[in-house]
Amino acid sequence: MCRSERLGSRGQGDGGYVTAEAAVVIPTLVALTAFLVWGLMAGAAQVRCVDAARAGARAAARSETPAEVLRVARAAAPSGAQVAVGRDGDLVRVRVAVPLPRFPVPLAAEAVALDESAVEDAAEDAEDNVRGARGGGLP
């Protein structure tokens, strides 16, 4: 038998332990819920950064204008994200980053695509090589 049952009708009960426990547990649950919601928002922003970088890289690979590439990437990026586009030979790089004041962890994504004009040039070179091989004595 517990203490509160022994006291029964005298009305002394549990001495306020439930109130004290609730005063500690409820703020802890609210803080945990807020942290989980923040984590979901950060995860969603990271996914949007990846999508925006990929969309920008595809547009740049199609030889879209730099303004169009930025427009496409910014349309898919989270609000306030920074978009950078660069070229490295035949590769196009698009980086999307969310500045730190919005989230205390860095959120960024980078996508790389091969410029389609490089693919077309390589295909034309391959066709020329095949034609040259056929003209060089093969039937």
What is the rounded end-to-end Cα distance, in angstroms, of the chain? Answer: 103
| Residue with the two structure tokens 């802890």 | 28
What does the pLDDT read at residue 118?
76
Q: What is the mean pLDDT of the chain?
A: 83
Dihedral angle over CA of 78, 79, 81, 82, nearest 10? 130
What does the pLDDT read at residue 138?
47
Q: How far is CA 58 from the centre of its chain?
A: 17
Mean pLDDT of 59-66: 90
What does the pLDDT read at residue 10?
55
What does the pLDDT read at residue 128?
65
d(CA 66, CA 80): 19
